[in-house]
Amino acid sequence: MNSPPLRLYTFAAPSRFYQLAGWLVPWFWAATVLLAAAGLYIGFFVAPTDATQGDSYRIIFIHVPAAWMSMLLYLVMAFWAGIGWAFNARLASMVARAIAPTGAMFTFLALWTGAIWGKPTWGTWWVWDARLTSELILLFLYLGYIALVNAIDDVRRADQAGALLALVGSVNVPIIYFSVKWWNTLHQGATVSMTAAPKMASTMLTAMLIMTFACWAYAFAAVFTRTRAIVIEREAHSGWVAELTRGRMHP
């Protein structure tokens, strides 16, 4: 008997995803560690000290990647939630749910590092600058999504409601950013913003890019593992999970 050709959507089955992800995750963790080591090395040992900000600017090597990841992950989350809703694809909805906590974490990190960076640079622990404020609102959007899907007991309703909320939120993200930017430039309280970063030496840029890839690999590893956990939690009743756990208990 010939086995059927492997089609891409075969991995849309939770069981297949579970196995594929299980194989990939260790590689993602390894990539995270290597890329982070390289990025931080360049960031701390090769990139020069900044003329105006001294060494405090080195926070940028985690602040900017975290901010980028927070925005990107929200859109990816909304995308997969939407796919799950449109095509009734359970796995897509599970992936969306798995992304949310990691996305929220990156948002928090962006805010935390942004605030700490602000202190030595502009003297206050928080500035209502356009990007930080938008980032704060993004955190609320994440928390809202997580709260909503966790508040609904019916899994299918929770997935669909979450998808709708995430999609509405992603439409709002550019609107929110634009309005906050407008508000910020008008009030001109803080005359500096995060865009007034040190003029980028190429080594600084390189370090930042490598750190971004490190965060990417991290996100893949964390999200895939969480998805695997969700798959097991939801499919616990099914045959393949029973076989899996039996295999684990009696190898």
Partner 1 sequence: MNWGSALAFFEMGGYGLYVWGSYGVVALLMLAEPWLVHRRLRRALQEAARRDSGNEAES
Partner 2 sequence: MRDLFLAVLLRDLKLASRRRIESLLPVVFFIVALSLFPLGVGPEAQMLRDIAPGIVWVCALLASMLSVGSLFAGDLADGSLEQLLLAPQPAIAVAAAKSTAHWLLTGLPLIVATPLVGLLFGMSGPALLALVAGLLLGTPILSLLGALGAALTLGLRSGGMLLILIVLPLTMPALIFGAGAVGQVEAGLDAGGHFSLLGALLLATALGAPPATAAALRISTE
CB nearer to partner 2: pick between 6 and 186:
186
* Spatial CB neighbours of 205, under 8 Å, sequence gap ≥ 6: none
Options 153-161, 163-171, 179-187, 218-226: segment touching partner 1 (CB under 8 A): 218-226
Residue 126 binds partner 1 (CB under 8 A): no
| Interface contacts to partner 2, rule CB under 8 A | 137, 140-141, 143-145, 147-148, 151-152, 157, 160-161, 164-165, 168-169, 171-172, 175-176, 178-180, 182-183, 186
CB 175 within 8 Å of CB 137 = no
The pair of structure tokens assigned to 21 is: 């992800």
Please choose which of partner 1, partner 2, none residue 161 contacts, taking the beta carbon within 5 to 8 angstroms, the exact cut-off set by kind. Answer: partner 2
Total of chain residues touching partner 1, rule CB under 8 A: 45
132 touches 107 (CB < 8 A): no
Residue 26 binds partner 1, judged by CB under 8 A = no
How far apart are alpha carbons 203 and 209 in whole angstroms? Answer: 10
Q: How far apart are CA 158 and CA 6, in angstroms?
A: 32
Determine which residue in the list 2, 6, 23, 45 makes contact with partner 1, applying CB under 8 A: 45
The distance of closest approach from Cβ of residue 130 to partner 2 in the complex, given in angstroms and rounded to an integer, is 11
Q: How far does Cα 38 stand from its chain's mean position?
A: 21
Q: What 3 state SS string does 96-140 have? A: HHHHHHHHHHHHHHHHHHHHHHHHHHHCCCCCCCHHHHHHHHHHH
List contacts with partner 1 (CB under 8 A). Answer: 29, 44-49, 54-56, 58-59, 62-63, 66, 101-102, 105, 108-109, 112-113, 116-117, 119-120, 218, 221-222, 225-226, 228-230, 232-233, 236-237, 241-242, 244-246, 248-249
